[in-house]
Structure 1
Amino acid sequence: MKIAFVGKGGSGKTTLSSLFIRHLAAAGRPVIAVDADINQHLGPALGLTDAQAAQLPSLGAHLPQIKEYLRGSNPRIGAAAEMIKTTPPGRGSRLLRIVEENPVYAACARPVALDEGSVRLLVTGTFTEEDLGVACYHSKVGAVELLLNHLVDGPDEYLVTDMTAGSDSFASGLFTRFDLTFLVAEPTRKGISVYRQYKEYARDFGVALRVVGNKVQNEDDLAYLRREVGGDLLAAFGQSAWVRRLEQGAEPALDTLEPENRAVLEALRGQADAAFQLRDPGRYTAQAVDFHLRNAESWGNAKAGVDLATQVDPSFVLEQAALAHAAAADPAGTPA
């Protein structure tokens, strides 16, 4: 399932997303972690040194290779250069899975060993000197949107994305690519303001949104969140000496995290698993097509020099196509 963490800058979304990733890995679940924030801190939050994080390959730098692989033999796409961030899959496209080896993961994903389990980490990459003044960060995040449009995931498989801060997530269709979005909110007016703005923007797109309170110090903080967020509040993460040690560069064992905070992580997993059961493959595919047509008309056709609307395969539904492919590959019905 596909999970996003969003929130105001400084709210602790990177910390909570990294803890959730650790929690899933400790339970033996396969996890792909994605750092899609302009401030690339997920790697260090998962225990990498700054030097190790700086050496991670970026998705943006491998975008031509990613496009070529995903294009596969799709007859509606004449060349990889004609693909944009919203290009939807169709018959002949290559689809990605959480548990597999493929050239995209080989080039861009790196394993990160944790004290309990391990994950694969993908990063969009930071701004370079060449980007300053001539590119927006969403051109890098577009690689994540393209991957998610081609990703087929199952129960007990997780892709967890640390998103850009605040409402920047809405600069592309990426915010619709998740089964569940956790908004991390501090018990402050600014934290609640970001929550209200995000909920308002997401309202017309069927985004499943739950709030996780963070830096909650006492019952007054909790009461404030309940009053302002209402039923969207899922859980509240309290003050944590464990997190403070982590932020100071230590690597405390996950099983020493405060029990009440570990329970919050389990509540998040339960909510994610429930959201997976409600997913609508038809709507997911239709939203991808809708955003693709919007981007094609706005700027994509001019950039690619072709009518990108012709890339849409009207009979293609992502998960149905994946199931058909698996059945054809293994008629006996055993895992392909």
Structure 2
Amino acid sequence: MKVKKFLISFSFTILFGVLSIGSLILYIFGKSNYDLFQTIITGISSIFFMVLTIKGNYYDSYYIAYNQKYFLNDINIFEDSITIKEKKIIRYKKFLKDKVTKSTYSLVYNKTLDLHFIVYELKNNFQLITIKNTGFTHTGLYFDETDRLLNTDVLIEKIGIKQLEGVNYIKKYTSNDEKSILFIHKDDNSFRVTEYTYSINFALKILDVYKEMLPHWYKEYNQAYFNFDNYHEAEIFAVRRLNSINEEYTLNGKPLQYFVLPRQKIGTAYHEFQTGDKKDVYWDKTSILLHEDIMEKHKMGEFFSRVIPNYDYFGKSLVNETTWNTILNQVIYENEMVKVIIDELRLWAEESIYESGCFTILGI
């Protein structure tokens, strides 16, 4: 909304508000139906112009582009666009005063999207895009999550990813693309997991553009403040969430070094570590596999024979919580490679025991 229109609607809001209050005072003292009618009419008028004033603040939407790239519905709005005209900037908004590189701005039309928008050229090859909200209403367009990710990546290519500072934690997990961070915190009697995302957000006012529309760390409240009674539960949740972000299965938030997933197996020479105690199920999607060569090379079978009751190298062996605790207590006396393999297995094993009461080892 132009400044002139805003001032007019704001002035009428104040005027009718004052008249409404004055009429109400007259009605209280005189009990005149005319004064009551006048109170109602002026009150409604004041509300009407107040709505126009509020709407005016959100009449335009503002976006930061880089190198003539900004995506809407997976389409770069600068492509297949034509410049209708260049107009001189008559009155510089405070936000623009020290940032524009030209004394004009462009009125642009994208034929594919049937969308009109305004472009200001900023320093360092950035652009400020202004789109009237009525333009979205007219076309039925909207920015979705895919657009936000694409536009975030465009700007990250220019400015990089800044470090997140000032967060106290006892463990930190970072996603493969480095745009998500999960922390485990210790509170008085519980453990808490919070997630931070590095992304652009949405700006409703032009003064917020650089604050919200350039990538920055913000707390992801949809995933924040999950509290757990113990560290183990917090760790399981954090790794599950990290796996979901990475769209892959990992243990302890790290890529697998010794175990593989069923879809990654080559041949059938594997020992399958399977969640719970399933009947006649093989290569289960929640399983992890350890190759026969690793079992033999590092004498894992000998270790399991000593710590797992009735362990069957070629058959089925059950590991419950008691047996798992024995494994953890005894592995400290084993060689370094056995320790590393059991450590990689640990979180998966403890999650299986937590969820199903046990896990099963199916021999070769």
User: What interval of TM-score do these two structures reach, taking the shorter chain for normalisation?
Assistant: under 0.3
TM-score (norm 1): 0.19
TM-score (norm 2): 0.18
More strand by share: 2
More helix by share: 1
Structure number with the bigger relative contact order (C-alpha 8 A, sep ≥ 6) is: 1
